[in-house]
Structure 1
Amino acid sequence: MSHIYIYSPSSAVRDKAAFRRGVKRLQTLGHEVEVDPDALSSHMRFAGDDATRVAAIARAAASGADVALTSRGGYGLTRLLKDLPYKAMTKAIQQGTQFAGLSDFTALQCALLAKTGAVTWAGPSVGEDFGCESTPDDIMEACFDDMVCGHGEGTGWTVPLSDARYLQARSKSGGLHIKDATLWGGNLTVLCSLVGTPWMPDIKGGILFLEDVNEHPYRIERQLTQLINAGIIGRQKAVVLGAFNRFKASPHDKGYKLQTVVDWVRAQVKTPVLTGLPFGHVATKVMLPVGHKVELMVQERQALIFWG
């Protein structure tokens, strides 16, 4: 049985039914669940004012839990970066607490990585994933369980046929093999908000993974262009794109779509850009160790990120 501490560092939990379902699901899976006293607090759009949410993060760090898991994402962590208890979080991680979340959680992950080099996990949240109305995704739960038990060694996926053709055009082997690269990234919008700040990790030769939700392809392109112009993508060994979903195409687009963005970015940089990573605001999501050294292998259409 694992001890999971649930806290709310970002937006307020509006869907309390989903939150309760998520807590119950984790308990059903055999975990001991401890809920932070301010997990359901609300202050404007936030889960409490800034001081309340910083205190909740500190309690998560002091909980001694196996996993400190966010209730949801949303917005709010970039407001807190100068006040986060970095030493306490790093000590907790060294003592075995795994901090996990996604979306707005990217701000905390990147800041912690930039300040201390500590490894956190990009993965599910309580409400959106464990608290969904249907049965939570089997792959998501299995990956989470592997992380909790310390058995996770990597994740694999099948890249689209267009990726295989792209890699074939890049080299005779048609594959890709990258060793000893730091895995980092997360939500594209949040990551771009950190550019030029002390909380943006200075990663060279890394593997940058990205996802986003409710962002039209032209906005995604604009943010990827910022990362290109800032020299960030060019310093990486690879970029891996997860899910970019829940946007609406416009008649104004005239054929402009997400693949257009991918093709354009590939034409701008020498860094290989892959797609199809099962991560983001989707039901099937893997766990990714942010800040960990990994190996990336792609052969034909089979991709693997390995850290075991």
Structure 2
Amino acid sequence: MSHLYVYSPSGAVRDRPGFKRAVKRLQALGHEVEIDPDALVSAQRFAGDDATRLAAIGRAAASRAEVLLTTRGGYGLTRLLPSLPYAAIQSSIERGSAWVGLSDFTALQLAVLAQTGGSTWAGPALLEDWAAPGPPDEIMQACFEDLCAGVGEGSGWRLPAADLRAHPELAQAEGWSVEAAALWGGNLSVLCSLVGTPYLPAIDGGILFLEDVGEHPYRIERMLSQLLHAGLLQRQRAIVLGAFNRYQLTPHDRGYKLASVLQWLRSQVSVPVLTGLPFGHVPTKVLLPLGRPVQLLVQGRDCLLFWG
């Protein structure tokens, strides 16, 4: 099995029993789990002050572990971007280390891609995905084990029928595909915070995937509007949406919901907007190679991503 390095680059770990449970679960799968010495440090809402968290990222880069796994997201990486050890991170990627995470980790992933071209993995975090009292999601675990074994070559999911009705060109008999397009994206809120900075990669003709948590549909539309007005959405070959969950509608919405946002988005762009990607703050999630060229294939309602 693999050598995993667990570190905390963003929010402080509050659930210590969950932390211990997650580590034991990974060890029971046969992994060697190395824990950063400051993984449980707390300073305000952060996992240590900025210098502490930068040092933890540096130790992760130097660890030579096969997988570098964040404890959790939250907030904290955006303020570190000017000081990240980019050369050390890129060297670890070139040695074969997989940097894995989601949510606030999107900031590091996009900054590394913009600054060095290095590819990281959108995937599980320790507390989000391994700490639950019950068993972890089988698909998430299988994808993670494939990454550890170096055998993951792609992923797929079932498109909602509404996607094909909205994009009839996808339903052609021979299928529809995008070849050799850079896969990029992540958490919508974090990505929007990087617009206009040197930490957002300038990708044309890519496949942009997005997810978010706890954001009301009108806020999701507002952030998508920012990307639209910045000219970013129109430059992609496809937009793929994962989970947008854990929000609360109110009587004031009067029927305005996430489907309303989707309908609006499709009226604004000419590229396919696909939904149902199993990724985000949900138990069932695949792992995605952020920054790598992929093939996107639609056959009937089957949507497939290949990078092997």
The verdict on a shared fold, with TM-score over 0.5 as the criterion, is yes
The aligned counterpart of 2:300 is: 300
> Match of 2:61, SS?
helix
**Alignment check: 8 A CA contact 1:243 1:279 kept:** yes
Distance (Å, rounded) in 1 between the aligned partners of 2:13 and 2:65: 22
The aligned counterpart of 1:200 is: 200
> Match of 2:181, SS?
strand
Distance (Å, rounded) in 2 between the aligned partners of 1:144 and 1:232: 30
Instruction: Give the alignment of 1:279-290 within 5 angstroms.
Output: 279-290=279-290
The aligned counterpart of 1:239 is: 239
The aligned counterpart of 1:159 is: 159
Change (3 A) 1:85 1:132: same
The aligned counterpart of 2:66 is: 66
The aligned counterpart of 1:16 is: 16
Instruction: Give the alignment of 1:1-308 within 5 angstroms.
Output: 1-168=1-168, 175-308=175-308
The Cα of 1:18 is off from its aligned counterpart by 1.1
> Match of 2:167, SS?
helix
Distance (Å, rounded) in 1 between the aligned partners of 2:73 and 2:258: 24
> Match of 1:225, SS?
helix
**Alignment check: 8 A CA contact 1:167 1:174 kept:** no
Question: Which of 173-182 and 11-20 deviates more?
Answer: 173-182
> Match of 1:104, SS?
helix
**Alignment check: 8 A CA contact 1:167 1:176 kept:** no
Matched pairs, number: 308
Distance (Å, rounded) in 1 between the aligned partners of 2:44 and 2:125: 21
Distance (Å, rounded) in 2 between the aligned partners of 1:16 and 1:71: 11
Change (3 A) 1:123 1:253: same
Distance (Å, rounded) in 1 between the aligned partners of 2:16 and 2:88: 29
RMSD of aligned alpha carbons: 1.1
The Cα of 1:128 is off from its aligned counterpart by 1.3
**Alignment check: 8 A CA contact 1:168 1:174 kept:** no
Percentage of pairs with the same residue: 63
> Match of 2:25, SS?
helix
**Alignment check: 8 A CA contact 2:180 2:293 kept:** yes
Structure 2: runs of 5 or more not aligned: none
**Alignment check: 8 A CA contact 2:18 2:132 kept:** yes
Distance (Å, rounded) in 2 between the aligned partners of 1:174 and 1:189: 36
The Cα of 1:167 is off from its aligned counterpart by 2.1
Structure 1: runs of 5 or more not aligned: none
What TM-score results when the alignment is normalised by the length of structure 2? Answer: 0.98
Q: Deviations over 1:260-280 (max 9, x none)?
A: 101100000111110000000
> Match of 2:260, SS?
helix
Distance (Å, rounded) in 2 between the aligned partners of 1:29 and 1:247: 34
Distance (Å, rounded) in 2 between the aligned partners of 1:287 and 1:182: 15
The Cα of 1:171 is off from its aligned counterpart by 7.0
> Match of 1:260, SS?
helix
Change (3 A) 1:171 1:270: farther
Distance (Å, rounded) in 2 between the aligned partners of 1:163 and 1:174: 17
Distance (Å, rounded) in 2 between the aligned partners of 1:171 and 1:69: 39
Q: Deviations over 1:204-232 (max 9, x none)?
A: 00000000000000000000011111010
Distance (Å, rounded) in 2 between the aligned partners of 1:273 and 1:288: 18
Question: Which of 189-198 and 16-25 deviates more?
Answer: 16-25
Distance (Å, rounded) in 2 between the aligned partners of 1:173 and 1:226: 36
Task: Give the letter for the 2:242 counterpart.
Answer: G
The Cα of 1:21 is off from its aligned counterpart by 1.0
**Alignment check: 8 A CA contact 2:209 2:241 kept:** yes
The Cα of 1:188 is off from its aligned counterpart by 0.1
